[in-house]
Structure 1
Amino acid sequence: MVMSAEAWGLFLVACLMLNIAPGPDLIFVLSRTLGHGRKAGFAASFGVCSGAMVHVLAAALGVSAILATSATAFMLVKYVGAAYLVWLGIKAMLSREGMLQIEGKHKPGATAWSIYRQGVLIDVLNPKAALFFMAFLPQFIPHDGSLSALLILLDTLFLGAIVIASGLLVEAGYIMLAAPLGTYLRNNKTIARRIDRLVGGLFIGLGAKIALTD
Protein backbone atom coordinates (compact mmCIF):
# COMPACT_ATOMS: atom_id res chain seq x y z
CA MET A 1 0.00 0.00 0.00
CA VAL A 2 1.31 3.46 -0.98
CA MET A 3 0.92 6.31 1.52
CA SER A 4 3.07 9.35 2.18
CA ALA A 5 5.35 9.40 5.21
CA GLU A 6 3.12 12.07 6.73
CA ALA A 7 0.00 9.95 6.25
CA TRP A 8 1.72 6.90 7.75
CA GLY A 9 2.85 8.97 10.72
CA LEU A 10 -0.67 10.28 11.30
CA PHE A 11 -2.12 6.80 10.97
CA LEU A 12 0.33 5.19 13.41
CA VAL A 13 -0.08 7.97 15.99
CA ALA A 14 -3.85 7.63 15.73
CA CYS A 15 -3.55 3.86 16.23
CA LEU A 16 -1.43 4.34 19.33
CA MET A 17 -3.70 6.95 20.89
CA LEU A 18 -6.84 4.94 20.20
CA ASN A 19 -5.38 1.79 21.75
CA ILE A 20 -4.02 3.56 24.83
CA ALA A 21 -7.43 5.04 25.65
CA PRO A 22 -9.27 2.93 28.27
CA GLY A 23 -12.37 1.05 27.20
CA PRO A 24 -14.16 -2.29 27.68
CA ASP A 25 -11.37 -4.20 25.90
CA LEU A 26 -8.54 -2.82 28.02
CA ILE A 27 -10.48 -3.14 31.27
CA PHE A 28 -11.22 -6.77 30.43
CA VAL A 29 -7.57 -7.52 29.63
CA LEU A 30 -6.37 -5.88 32.85
CA SER A 31 -9.00 -7.61 34.99
CA ARG A 32 -8.03 -11.03 33.68
CA THR A 33 -4.33 -10.26 34.09
CA LEU A 34 -4.82 -9.18 37.69
CA GLY A 35 -7.14 -12.09 38.39
CA HIS A 36 -5.36 -14.98 36.73
CA GLY A 37 -1.91 -13.91 35.64
CA ARG A 38 0.04 -13.10 32.51
CA LYS A 39 -1.20 -16.07 30.47
CA ALA A 40 -4.83 -15.13 31.07
CA GLY A 41 -4.06 -11.52 30.18
CA PHE A 42 -2.66 -12.53 26.80
CA ALA A 43 -5.61 -14.87 26.22
CA ALA A 44 -7.93 -11.91 26.86
CA SER A 45 -5.88 -9.69 24.56
CA PHE A 46 -5.91 -12.23 21.73
CA GLY A 47 -9.66 -12.60 22.25
CA VAL A 48 -10.53 -8.91 21.94
CA CYS A 49 -8.14 -8.53 19.00
CA SER A 50 -9.76 -11.50 17.25
CA GLY A 51 -13.11 -9.80 17.78
CA ALA A 52 -11.68 -6.61 16.32
CA MET A 53 -10.52 -8.54 13.26
CA VAL A 54 -14.14 -9.60 12.71
CA HIS A 55 -15.07 -5.90 12.57
CA VAL A 56 -12.21 -5.18 10.16
CA LEU A 57 -13.39 -7.95 7.84
CA ALA A 58 -16.96 -6.68 8.11
CA ALA A 59 -15.81 -3.15 7.24
CA ALA A 60 -13.81 -4.41 4.26
CA LEU A 61 -16.78 -6.39 2.92
CA GLY A 62 -19.26 -3.59 3.58
CA VAL A 63 -21.19 -5.58 6.18
CA SER A 64 -20.63 -2.92 8.86
CA ALA A 65 -22.71 -0.55 6.74
CA ILE A 66 -25.76 -2.52 7.88
CA LEU A 67 -25.18 -1.31 11.45
CA ALA A 68 -24.72 2.25 10.21
CA THR A 69 -27.93 2.26 8.19
CA SER A 70 -30.18 -0.04 10.23
CA ALA A 71 -31.24 1.34 13.59
CA THR A 72 -32.73 -2.05 14.50
CA ALA A 73 -29.50 -3.96 13.84
CA PHE A 74 -27.41 -1.37 15.69
CA MET A 75 -29.70 -1.35 18.75
CA LEU A 76 -29.86 -5.16 18.84
CA VAL A 77 -26.07 -5.57 18.88
CA LYS A 78 -25.70 -2.67 21.32
CA TYR A 79 -28.14 -4.07 23.87
CA VAL A 80 -26.82 -7.62 23.61
CA GLY A 81 -23.28 -6.32 24.14
CA ALA A 82 -24.35 -4.14 27.06
CA ALA A 83 -26.17 -7.05 28.67
CA TYR A 84 -23.09 -9.25 28.30
CA LEU A 85 -20.90 -6.67 30.08
CA VAL A 86 -23.45 -6.29 32.86
CA TRP A 87 -23.60 -10.08 33.23
CA LEU A 88 -19.80 -10.27 33.53
CA GLY A 89 -19.91 -7.50 36.13
CA ILE A 90 -22.60 -9.18 38.22
CA LYS A 91 -20.76 -12.49 37.97
CA ALA A 92 -17.58 -10.86 39.30
CA MET A 93 -19.40 -9.12 42.16
CA LEU A 94 -21.38 -12.17 43.28
CA SER A 95 -18.68 -14.82 42.84
CA ARG A 96 -18.01 -16.55 46.15
CA GLU A 97 -14.33 -17.12 45.44
CA GLY A 98 -13.99 -13.85 43.61
CA MET A 99 -12.50 -13.00 40.25
CA LEU A 100 -8.96 -13.04 41.59
CA GLN A 101 -7.62 -16.56 41.77
CA ILE A 102 -5.89 -17.22 45.10
CA GLU A 103 -2.40 -18.62 44.56
CA GLY A 104 -2.35 -22.40 44.56
CA LYS A 105 -6.07 -22.76 43.84
CA HIS A 106 -7.62 -23.62 40.52
CA LYS A 107 -10.60 -21.50 39.61
CA PRO A 108 -13.16 -23.28 37.38
CA GLY A 109 -14.14 -21.46 34.21
CA ALA A 110 -10.92 -19.42 34.11
CA THR A 111 -9.15 -21.37 31.38
CA ALA A 112 -7.30 -19.51 28.65
CA TRP A 113 -9.87 -20.71 26.10
CA SER A 114 -12.87 -19.45 28.11
CA ILE A 115 -11.17 -16.09 28.66
CA TYR A 116 -10.35 -15.89 24.94
CA ARG A 117 -14.01 -16.52 24.04
CA GLN A 118 -15.15 -13.83 26.46
CA GLY A 119 -12.74 -11.37 24.86
CA VAL A 120 -14.04 -12.18 21.37
CA LEU A 121 -17.64 -11.62 22.48
CA ILE A 122 -16.86 -8.34 24.24
CA ASP A 123 -15.44 -6.89 21.04
CA VAL A 124 -17.81 -8.46 18.51
CA LEU A 125 -20.83 -7.27 20.50
CA ASN A 126 -19.59 -3.67 20.53
CA PRO A 127 -21.30 -1.95 17.57
CA LYS A 128 -19.23 1.19 18.04
CA ALA A 129 -16.11 -0.81 17.25
CA ALA A 130 -17.69 -1.81 13.94
CA LEU A 131 -18.58 1.80 13.15
CA PHE A 132 -15.09 2.94 14.12
CA PHE A 133 -13.33 0.67 11.65
CA MET A 134 -15.86 1.51 8.96
CA ALA A 135 -15.25 5.26 9.44
CA PHE A 136 -11.53 5.29 10.31
CA LEU A 137 -9.86 2.97 7.80
CA PRO A 138 -11.29 4.47 4.57
CA GLN A 139 -9.74 7.84 5.44
CA PHE A 140 -6.32 6.38 4.57
CA ILE A 141 -7.39 4.61 1.37
CA PRO A 142 -7.83 6.52 -1.92
CA HIS A 143 -11.31 6.24 -3.41
CA ASP A 144 -10.65 8.24 -6.57
CA GLY A 145 -10.90 5.28 -8.88
CA SER A 146 -7.18 4.55 -8.85
CA LEU A 147 -7.71 1.30 -6.93
CA SER A 148 -9.83 -1.69 -7.83
CA ALA A 149 -12.43 -3.05 -5.42
CA LEU A 150 -10.09 -5.95 -4.60
CA LEU A 151 -7.20 -3.63 -3.74
CA ILE A 152 -9.46 -1.49 -1.57
CA LEU A 153 -10.54 -4.63 0.30
CA LEU A 154 -6.93 -5.80 0.74
CA ASP A 155 -5.78 -2.33 1.87
CA THR A 156 -8.63 -2.16 4.40
CA LEU A 157 -7.63 -5.54 5.81
CA PHE A 158 -3.97 -4.50 5.90
CA LEU A 159 -4.62 -1.23 7.75
CA GLY A 160 -7.03 -2.97 10.10
CA ALA A 161 -4.38 -5.56 10.91
CA ILE A 162 -1.95 -2.75 11.78
CA VAL A 163 -4.51 -1.19 14.14
CA ILE A 164 -4.98 -4.56 15.83
CA ALA A 165 -1.23 -5.28 15.98
CA SER A 166 -0.65 -1.93 17.70
CA GLY A 167 -3.41 -2.85 20.13
CA LEU A 168 -1.66 -6.13 20.90
CA LEU A 169 1.59 -4.27 21.61
CA VAL A 170 -0.09 -1.72 23.87
CA GLU A 171 -2.02 -4.41 25.75
CA ALA A 172 1.15 -6.50 26.10
CA GLY A 173 2.76 -3.56 27.88
CA TYR A 174 -0.19 -3.25 30.24
CA ILE A 175 -0.14 -7.00 30.89
CA MET A 176 3.55 -7.04 31.75
CA LEU A 177 3.06 -4.14 34.18
CA ALA A 178 -0.10 -5.54 35.77
CA ALA A 179 1.02 -9.18 36.20
CA PRO A 180 3.34 -8.56 39.22
CA LEU A 181 0.59 -6.53 40.92
CA GLY A 182 -1.83 -9.37 40.30
CA THR A 183 0.50 -11.81 42.05
CA TYR A 184 0.40 -9.64 45.16
CA LEU A 185 -3.37 -9.15 45.03
CA ARG A 186 -4.09 -12.85 44.68
CA ASN A 187 -2.34 -13.44 48.01
CA ASN A 188 -4.41 -10.81 49.82
CA LYS A 189 -8.01 -11.99 50.10
CA THR A 190 -9.37 -8.69 51.44
CA ILE A 191 -7.90 -6.63 48.62
CA ALA A 192 -8.86 -9.32 46.10
CA ARG A 193 -12.53 -9.10 47.07
CA ARG A 194 -12.46 -5.32 46.83
CA ILE A 195 -10.93 -5.52 43.37
CA ASP A 196 -13.67 -7.99 42.42
CA ARG A 197 -16.32 -5.46 43.40
CA LEU A 198 -14.51 -2.63 41.63
CA VAL A 199 -14.06 -4.53 38.37
CA GLY A 200 -17.62 -5.83 38.53
CA GLY A 201 -18.89 -2.29 39.04
CA LEU A 202 -16.81 -1.06 36.10
CA PHE A 203 -18.28 -3.69 33.77
CA ILE A 204 -21.81 -2.92 34.94
CA GLY A 205 -21.14 0.80 34.46
CA LEU A 206 -19.71 0.24 30.98
CA GLY A 207 -22.68 -1.91 30.03
CA ALA A 208 -25.10 0.74 31.27
CA LYS A 209 -23.19 3.47 29.42
CA ILE A 210 -23.29 1.52 26.16
CA ALA A 211 -27.01 0.81 26.57
CA LEU A 212 -27.90 4.43 27.36
CA THR A 213 -25.63 6.12 24.81
CA ASP A 214 -26.87 6.75 21.29
Structure 2
Amino acid sequence: MLTIDVIMTFIGVATLLAWVPGPDNLFVLTQSALYGPKEGVLVTLGLCLGLVVHSIAVSLGVAVIFQQSQFAFDALKYAGAAYLVYLAYKSLRAGPENPDTAGASRRPAAAMVLRGVVMNLTNPKVAIFFLAFLPQFTDAARGSIAVQMLMLGGLFILCAFASFTTISLMAGVLSRWLRASPRGQIVLNRVAGLVFVGLAVKLVTANR
Protein backbone atom coordinates (compact mmCIF):
# COMPACT_ATOMS: atom_id res chain seq x y z
CA MET A 1 0.00 0.00 0.00
CA LEU A 2 1.00 3.64 -0.24
CA THR A 3 3.08 5.14 2.55
CA ILE A 4 2.38 8.53 4.14
CA ASP A 5 5.46 10.14 2.62
CA VAL A 6 4.50 8.91 -0.87
CA ILE A 7 0.93 10.16 -0.40
CA MET A 8 2.04 13.63 0.77
CA THR A 9 4.59 13.96 -2.05
CA PHE A 10 2.04 12.85 -4.61
CA ILE A 11 -0.61 15.28 -3.33
CA GLY A 12 1.86 18.16 -3.54
CA VAL A 13 2.87 17.33 -7.11
CA ALA A 14 -0.71 16.62 -8.23
CA THR A 15 -1.99 19.91 -6.81
CA LEU A 16 0.80 21.83 -8.51
CA LEU A 17 0.00 20.15 -11.84
CA ALA A 18 -3.70 20.98 -11.42
CA TRP A 19 -2.85 24.68 -11.21
CA VAL A 20 -0.43 24.75 -14.13
CA PRO A 21 -2.33 26.35 -17.05
CA GLY A 22 -3.63 23.57 -19.29
CA PRO A 23 -6.71 22.47 -21.25
CA ASP A 24 -8.74 21.31 -18.23
CA ASN A 25 -8.34 24.30 -15.92
CA LEU A 26 -8.67 26.76 -18.80
CA PHE A 27 -11.88 24.97 -19.76
CA VAL A 28 -13.18 25.27 -16.18
CA LEU A 29 -12.20 28.93 -16.06
CA THR A 30 -14.05 29.88 -19.25
CA GLN A 31 -17.17 27.84 -18.41
CA SER A 32 -17.34 29.31 -14.89
CA ALA A 33 -16.90 32.85 -16.16
CA LEU A 34 -19.55 32.38 -18.84
CA TYR A 35 -22.22 30.53 -16.88
CA GLY A 36 -21.42 30.91 -13.17
CA PRO A 37 -19.53 29.08 -10.39
CA LYS A 38 -22.15 26.35 -10.00
CA GLU A 39 -21.83 25.43 -13.67
CA GLY A 40 -18.05 25.50 -13.32
CA VAL A 41 -18.22 23.00 -10.46
CA LEU A 42 -20.49 20.77 -12.55
CA VAL A 43 -17.97 20.86 -15.41
CA THR A 44 -15.26 20.03 -12.86
CA LEU A 45 -17.30 17.05 -11.71
CA GLY A 46 -17.51 15.87 -15.32
CA LEU A 47 -13.77 16.25 -15.81
CA CYS A 48 -13.12 14.25 -12.64
CA LEU A 49 -15.51 11.49 -13.77
CA GLY A 50 -13.42 11.32 -16.92
CA LEU A 51 -10.30 10.98 -14.76
CA VAL A 52 -11.95 8.02 -13.00
CA VAL A 53 -12.19 6.26 -16.36
CA HIS A 54 -8.56 7.14 -17.18
CA SER A 55 -7.41 5.83 -13.78
CA ILE A 56 -9.18 2.52 -14.31
CA ALA A 57 -7.87 2.28 -17.88
CA VAL A 58 -4.29 2.82 -16.72
CA SER A 59 -4.65 0.32 -13.89
CA LEU A 60 -6.01 -2.33 -16.27
CA GLY A 61 -3.47 -1.55 -18.96
CA VAL A 62 -6.07 -0.31 -21.46
CA ALA A 63 -4.33 3.07 -21.80
CA VAL A 64 -1.38 1.30 -23.40
CA ILE A 65 -3.52 1.06 -26.55
CA PHE A 66 -3.33 4.81 -27.06
CA GLN A 67 0.41 4.75 -26.48
CA GLN A 68 1.05 1.96 -28.98
CA SER A 69 -1.68 2.51 -31.59
CA GLN A 70 -1.38 5.62 -33.74
CA PHE A 71 -4.85 4.98 -35.19
CA ALA A 72 -6.54 4.83 -31.76
CA PHE A 73 -4.65 7.91 -30.61
CA ASP A 74 -5.54 9.92 -33.72
CA ALA A 75 -9.19 8.82 -33.74
CA LEU A 76 -9.73 9.97 -30.17
CA LYS A 77 -7.84 13.24 -30.49
CA TYR A 78 -9.72 14.21 -33.68
CA ALA A 79 -13.03 13.48 -31.95
CA GLY A 80 -11.95 15.72 -29.08
CA ALA A 81 -10.82 18.47 -31.44
CA ALA A 82 -14.15 18.34 -33.29
CA TYR A 83 -16.01 18.74 -30.00
CA LEU A 84 -13.86 21.74 -29.06
CA VAL A 85 -14.50 23.33 -32.46
CA TYR A 86 -18.23 22.82 -31.89
CA LEU A 87 -17.99 24.60 -28.51
CA ALA A 88 -15.94 27.37 -30.16
CA TYR A 89 -18.62 27.83 -32.83
CA LYS A 90 -21.33 28.14 -30.18
CA SER A 91 -19.28 30.62 -28.14
CA LEU A 92 -18.34 32.78 -31.12
CA ARG A 93 -21.98 33.03 -32.20
CA ALA A 94 -23.44 33.53 -28.72
CA GLY A 95 -25.02 36.83 -27.85
CA PRO A 96 -25.43 38.45 -24.42
CA GLU A 97 -27.99 37.07 -21.98
CA ASN A 98 -30.66 39.26 -20.46
CA PRO A 99 -29.78 39.71 -16.75
CA ASP A 100 -33.47 39.27 -15.88
CA THR A 101 -33.66 35.86 -17.58
CA ALA A 102 -30.10 34.61 -17.03
CA GLY A 103 -31.16 32.35 -14.19
CA ALA A 104 -33.80 30.67 -16.32
CA SER A 105 -31.37 30.14 -19.20
CA ARG A 106 -28.68 28.38 -17.20
CA ARG A 107 -27.44 25.14 -18.67
CA PRO A 108 -28.91 21.88 -17.30
CA ALA A 109 -26.69 20.25 -14.69
CA ALA A 110 -26.43 17.00 -16.66
CA ALA A 111 -25.35 18.88 -19.78
CA MET A 112 -22.54 20.67 -17.93
CA VAL A 113 -21.33 17.43 -16.33
CA LEU A 114 -21.42 15.70 -19.73
CA ARG A 115 -19.47 18.58 -21.23
CA GLY A 116 -16.67 17.94 -18.74
CA VAL A 117 -16.75 14.17 -19.26
CA VAL A 118 -16.51 14.47 -23.06
CA MET A 119 -13.76 17.11 -22.81
CA ASN A 120 -11.66 14.78 -20.67
CA LEU A 121 -12.32 11.42 -22.30
CA THR A 122 -11.62 12.65 -25.83
CA ASN A 123 -8.10 13.71 -24.89
CA PRO A 124 -5.78 10.70 -25.25
CA LYS A 125 -2.93 12.75 -23.78
CA VAL A 126 -4.60 12.42 -20.38
CA ALA A 127 -4.48 8.63 -20.51
CA ILE A 128 -0.85 8.66 -21.62
CA PHE A 129 0.01 11.22 -18.93
CA PHE A 130 -1.50 8.96 -16.28
CA LEU A 131 0.35 6.00 -17.79
CA ALA A 132 3.65 7.86 -17.43
CA PHE A 133 2.96 9.71 -14.16
CA LEU A 134 1.27 7.28 -11.77
CA PRO A 135 3.81 4.42 -11.96
CA GLN A 136 6.53 6.77 -10.70
CA PHE A 137 4.92 6.60 -7.26
CA THR A 138 4.38 2.85 -7.14
CA ASP A 139 6.59 0.10 -5.77
CA ALA A 140 6.07 -3.63 -6.25
CA ALA A 141 7.37 -4.15 -2.71
CA ARG A 142 4.25 -2.40 -1.38
CA GLY A 143 1.78 -4.77 -3.02
CA SER A 144 -0.38 -4.76 -6.14
CA ILE A 145 0.73 -2.12 -8.66
CA ALA A 146 -2.80 -1.92 -10.08
CA VAL A 147 -4.27 -1.16 -6.63
CA GLN A 148 -1.59 1.45 -5.96
CA MET A 149 -2.34 3.17 -9.28
CA LEU A 150 -6.06 3.19 -8.52
CA MET A 151 -5.32 4.82 -5.17
CA LEU A 152 -3.01 7.37 -6.78
CA GLY A 153 -5.64 8.06 -9.43
CA GLY A 154 -8.18 8.70 -6.68
CA LEU A 155 -5.82 11.11 -4.93
CA PHE A 156 -5.15 12.92 -8.20
CA ILE A 157 -8.89 13.28 -8.79
CA LEU A 158 -9.40 14.75 -5.30
CA CYS A 159 -6.58 17.26 -5.88
CA ALA A 160 -7.96 18.20 -9.29
CA PHE A 161 -11.50 18.59 -7.96
CA ALA A 162 -10.38 20.84 -5.10
CA SER A 163 -8.19 22.96 -7.39
CA PHE A 164 -10.72 23.29 -10.21
CA THR A 165 -13.54 24.05 -7.78
CA THR A 166 -11.45 26.90 -6.38
CA ILE A 167 -10.94 28.19 -9.93
CA SER A 168 -14.70 27.95 -10.51
CA LEU A 169 -15.51 30.01 -7.43
CA MET A 170 -12.90 32.63 -8.29
CA ALA A 171 -14.20 32.92 -11.86
CA GLY A 172 -17.74 33.20 -10.45
CA VAL A 173 -16.97 36.77 -9.38
CA LEU A 174 -16.33 37.62 -13.03
CA SER A 175 -19.51 35.82 -14.03
CA ARG A 176 -21.69 38.02 -11.80
CA TRP A 177 -20.22 41.13 -13.38
CA LEU A 178 -20.75 39.75 -16.88
CA ARG A 179 -24.44 39.12 -16.29
CA ALA A 180 -24.83 42.86 -15.81
CA SER A 181 -22.64 43.73 -18.82
CA PRO A 182 -23.87 42.67 -22.27
CA ARG A 183 -20.65 43.88 -23.87
CA GLY A 184 -18.61 41.94 -21.31
CA GLN A 185 -20.56 38.77 -22.13
CA ILE A 186 -19.85 39.18 -25.83
CA VAL A 187 -16.14 39.77 -25.24
CA LEU A 188 -15.82 36.72 -22.98
CA ASN A 189 -17.76 34.53 -25.42
CA ARG A 190 -15.35 35.54 -28.16
CA VAL A 191 -12.34 34.92 -25.90
CA ALA A 192 -13.78 31.54 -24.89
CA GLY A 193 -14.28 30.66 -28.56
CA LEU A 194 -10.65 31.50 -29.33
CA VAL A 195 -9.51 29.45 -26.32
CA PHE A 196 -11.50 26.45 -27.59
CA VAL A 197 -9.99 26.85 -31.08
CA GLY A 198 -6.52 27.02 -29.53
CA LEU A 199 -7.17 23.88 -27.47
CA ALA A 200 -8.47 22.09 -30.57
CA VAL A 201 -5.33 23.01 -32.54
CA LYS A 202 -3.13 21.90 -29.66
CA LEU A 203 -4.96 18.58 -29.46
CA VAL A 204 -4.81 17.95 -33.22
CA THR A 205 -1.07 18.63 -33.31
CA ALA A 206 -0.35 16.48 -30.24
CA ASN A 207 1.89 13.47 -30.62
CA ARG A 208 1.91 10.34 -28.49
Q: TM-score, normalised by structure 2?
A: 0.92
| Cα distance between partner residues in 2 of 1:114 and 1:102 | 21
- Structure 1 residue 201 and structure 2 residue 201: aligned? no
3-state SS in 2 of match to 1:22: coil
Q: Offset of 1:43 from its aligned partner?
A: 0.5
In structure 1, the partner of 2:81 is 82
Aligned partner letter, 2:136: Q
Give the 5 Å matches for 1:143-182.
143=140, 147=143, 151-182=144-175
Give the 5 Å matches for 1:2-81.
2-3=2-3, 5=5, 7-81=6-80
**Larger displacement relative to structure 2 (190-199 or 177-186):** 177-186
Cα RMSD of the aligned pairs, angstroms, is: 1.6
Q: Which runs of 5+ in 2 are unaligned?
A: none
In structure 1, the partner of 2:130 is 133
CA distance 1:72–1:114, shift in 2 (3 Å): same
Could you tell me whether the CA contact under 8 Å between 1:90 and 1:200 is conserved in 2? Answer: yes
- The count of corresponding residues between Structure 1 and Structure 2 is 205
| Cα distance between partner residues in 1 of 2:35 and 2:100 | 11
C-alpha distance after superposition, 1:27-47 (max 9, x if no partner): 221222112212111101100
Q: Offset of 1:19 from its aligned partner?
A: 0.3
**Larger displacement relative to structure 2 (174-183 or 61-70):** 174-183
| Cα distance between partner residues in 2 of 1:9 and 1:18 | 14
Aligned partner letter, 1:170: S
| Cα distance between partner residues in 2 of 1:103 and 1:183 | 10
3-state SS in 2 of match to 1:103: coil
Q: Offset of 1:4 from its aligned partner?
A: 5.8
Q: TM-score, normalised by structure 1?
A: 0.90
Could you tell me whether the CA contact under 8 Å between 2:40 and 2:168 is conserved in 1? Answer: yes
Q: Offset of 1:205 from its aligned partner?
A: 0.9
| Cα distance between partner residues in 2 of 1:59 and 1:42 | 25
| Cα distance between partner residues in 1 of 2:77 and 2:114 | 18
| Cα distance between partner residues in 1 of 2:42 and 2:7 | 29
Q: Which runs of 5+ in 1 are unaligned?
A: none
Could you tell me whether the CA contact under 8 Å between 2:24 and 2:47 is conserved in 1? Answer: yes
| Cα distance between partner residues in 2 of 1:205 and 1:102 | 29
Could you tell me whether the CA contact under 8 Å between 2:79 and 2:122 is conserved in 1? Answer: yes
| Cα distance between partner residues in 2 of 1:208 and 1:113 | 27
Q: Offset of 1:80 from its aligned partner?
A: 0.9
3-state SS in 2 of match to 1:213: coil
